[in-house]
Structure 1
Amino acid sequence: MGLRTDVIVVAAGSGQRAGDGIPKQYRSIGGRTVLRRTLEAFAGSNGIRHILPVINPEHAALCADSAAGLPGVLAPVAGGATRQASVRAGLEALADDPPDLVLIHDAARPFVSPRLVARAIAAAERHGAAVPVLALVDTIKSVPETGFIASGPDRDALRSVQTPQAFRYALIRDAHRLQTHSAHLTDDAAVAEAAGHKVAVFPGDPANVKLTTPEDFVTAERTAAADLLDVRTATGFDVHAFGPGDHVMLGGVRIPHGFGLSGHSDADVVLHALTDALLGTIGSGDIGHHFPPSDPQWKGAASDQFLAHAARLVRDAGGRIAHLDATVICEAPKIGPHREAMRARIAAIAGISLARVSVKATTSEQLGFTGRREGIAALAAATVRLPWID
């Protein structure tokens, strides 16, 4: 049995250099927050027992959304005024059930790979303290106040340092306890060195970039999109008959009408068809599988929760919704006056932009049950992008 390994994900910073808005660890890239991508990377890596986020308590709700449903993620702890204080808080929070090894990682490095995690674990076990590094490819020069370059250091001897930095837990915990007032120490390797420990190096990963500036997020979006090479399209179809009532629910919008629609839930044919289409893209059955009509809890239920559930399953699979398209088939009510409201509601439920939703309407030229005004039908198509899995 391997050594118990926990991960501390440092996510307490404000990320001011990334531009205005919420802290960078809660911004979205490729349909998922930076923090969620980081947590997913460790949750999907072999040998990891627990993952502990260290956060600003004011962002507890944002953290909870990012961590929802991920195995091994512990309740977050409050960070401190500095990175060093935040790491120390995380280390102390693990003390009651301490791991053998601990990896300390910046939340703003969401592209950490399972291979790099495995190298970090092996290096910590072998050396007690180790960090991932990359050789420099650019020449480094000193620029004094004169504005002219001076001679620089030997590039061959220099390395850039990444995270996760890897340690024996007791070693780095005790080192942090010794350095409670050393605010000048910028990473955990420096804390270990200040406590008298030698820190080994192991190969880093060029893809394991830290998101710092607005330009970094533009590049990260391209990287995330490049990972979603599996484009899938699926369809959905639903029918409900008219019954007593004074309105119908279509696309999450209440539309006045001389009849209602009969069904176990609110009978929203548009949302039902879209739900089936999304479930089809990930091979996850149909709406009846997830929300059985025989279950009384769904009697009269709002159908927005069905579509939201399907969209969440797509995101949990690492996917991104590229487009949702619905066609309503009926003689009445008229869909045109409500089209934009339906688009906006569907976009909000699925968590996508309005530009990614299309709603159309047609009649059946007075043919069939819709032509006889006995009910409403809806066709839907969903297109998603997923990570390629053979």
Structure 2
Amino acid sequence: MTTASGGRVVALVPAAGRGVRLGEQTPKAFVTLAGTSMMRLSVDGLLASGVVDHVVVVAPAELIGAAVALLPAGVQVVEGGAERIDSVRAGIAAAPDADIYLVHDAARALTPTSLIARVVAELRSGRKAVVPALEVTDTIKTVDILGGVTGTPKRSELRGIQTPQGFDAALMRRAYEAASADDPATDDAGLVERLGERVRTIPGDPLAFKITTQLDLTLARALTAATTKPATNTADEGLG
């Protein structure tokens, strides 16, 4: 069964990374915000969007049992690989019946459901590759190996790319078939671009930021605490 005409939507959630830059004892996807793992929050967002038919989480081999225990019934958990590209390949292999793939970072745990729905809507309208993007606010420099500035790209032509990234399933399979095992691409859209296919950007959302550093984690926890804080009973104010 699919969510709407246009085929079956499968979301792949790579969650096998260690998250060294985060500096936590637990692998990043298992780090919690207000008591809930980032992995679970990301999966809940995908399911709550109403546009995803199936979710495949790709976890470290030794933590598959722990992942299953943390996730809703029906979410498939498979073993990941040493690199992200290996984990996404494992997710593709686990869901060969997909018509549309979404690839969503577990570390973008606060991504609004509306953004997920917009990506799928673009794909259902006929786009083959869609990624959320935010305008870059900092000036960006290119540098050489010694740190010397070699150029200043036009900020108006730069975008910070988020997830979920969405693809026609046949196109994504083709992109991964063409990629080598040690491909240095940092996102799935990069593999599709190499095939000469056009990747469409849509406006992203600041809440879809990637939780990578301790500062990111502090912000995410503050935002989560603010949204889960019990409402104040104004009738009781001033009593005591």
Letter aligned with residue 120 of structure 1: V
SS at match of 1:198: coil
Query: 2:14 aligned to 6, 10, 13, which one?
Result: 10
Query: 1:35 aligned to 36, 39, 47, which one?
Result: 39
Tell me if structure 2 keeps the 8 A contact 1:92–1:173.
no
After TM superposition, give the deviation of residue 113 of structure 1 in Å. Answer: 1.1
1:93 — aligned with what? 94
Q: In the TM superposition, what whole-angstrom CA distance separates every residue of 1:222-260 from its partner, at most 9, and x where no partner exists? A: 010111143489xxxxxxxxxxxxxxxxxxxxxxxxxxx
Q: Distance between the aligned counterparts of 2:117 and 2:57, measured in 1?
A: 20
Describe the shift of the 1:229–1:153 C-alpha distance in structure 2 as closer, same or farther (beyond 3 A). same
Tell me if structure 2 keeps the 8 A contact 1:43–1:71.
no
Describe the shift of the 1:178–1:221 C-alpha distance in structure 2 as closer, same or farther (beyond 3 A). same
Tell me if structure 2 keeps the 8 A contact 1:34–1:110.
yes
Q: In the TM superposition, what whole-angstrom CA distance separates every residue of 1:241-284 from its partner, at most 9, and x where no partner exists? A: xxxxxxxxxxxxxxxxxxxxxxxxxxxxxxxxxxxxxxxxxxxx
After TM superposition, give the deviation of residue 142 of structure 1 in Å. Answer: 3.1
After TM superposition, give the deviation of residue 84 of structure 1 in Å. Answer: 0.9
Residue 217, structure 1, aligned to residue 211, structure 2 = no
Describe the shift of the 1:145–1:14 C-alpha distance in structure 2 as closer, same or farther (beyond 3 A). closer
1:103 — aligned with what? 102
**Greater relative contact order, per chain length (Cα 8 Å cut-off, separation 6+):** 2
Q: Distance between the aligned counterparts of 1:20 and 1:221, measured in 2?
A: 14
After TM superposition, give the deviation of residue 105 of structure 1 in Å. Answer: 0.7
Residue 203, structure 1, aligned to residue 203, structure 2 = yes
Residue 49, structure 1, aligned to residue 53, structure 2 = yes
2:116 — aligned with what? 117
SS at match of 1:63: helix
Q: Distance between the aligned counterparts of 1:101 and 1:148, measured in 2?
A: 43
Give the number of aligned pairs: 228
Query: Greater strand percent: which structure?
Result: 1
SS at match of 1:106: coil
After TM superposition, give the deviation of residue 218 of structure 1 in Å. Answer: 1.0
Q: How does 1:1-390 map to 2 (within 5 A)?
A: 1-2=4-5, 3-67=7-71, 70=72, 72-74=74-76, 76-95=77-96, 98-125=97-124, 126-144=126-144, 149=149, 151-231=151-231
Letter aligned with residue 166 of structure 1: G
Identity among equivalent positions (%) equals: 36
After TM superposition, give the deviation of residue 54 of structure 1 in Å. Answer: 0.6
After TM superposition, give the deviation of residue 143 of structure 1 in Å. Answer: 4.0
After TM superposition, give the deviation of residue 195 of structure 1 in Å. Answer: 2.5
Q: Distance between the aligned counterparts of 1:143 and 1:194, measured in 2?
A: 24
Describe the shift of the 1:147–1:229 C-alpha distance in structure 2 as closer, same or farther (beyond 3 A). same
Larger radius of gyration: 1
CA RMSD of aligned residues (A): 1.9
Q: Distance between the aligned counterparts of 1:149 and 1:176, measured in 2?
A: 34
Task: Show structure 2 runs of 5+ residues with no match.
Answer: 234-240
Q: In the TM superposition, what whole-angstrom CA distance separates every residue of 1:44-96 from its partner, at most 9, and x where no partner exists? A: 111211010011111113212320xx25412x11111111111111001111x
After TM superposition, give the deviation of residue 178 of structure 1 in Å. Answer: 1.8
2:236 — aligned with what? none
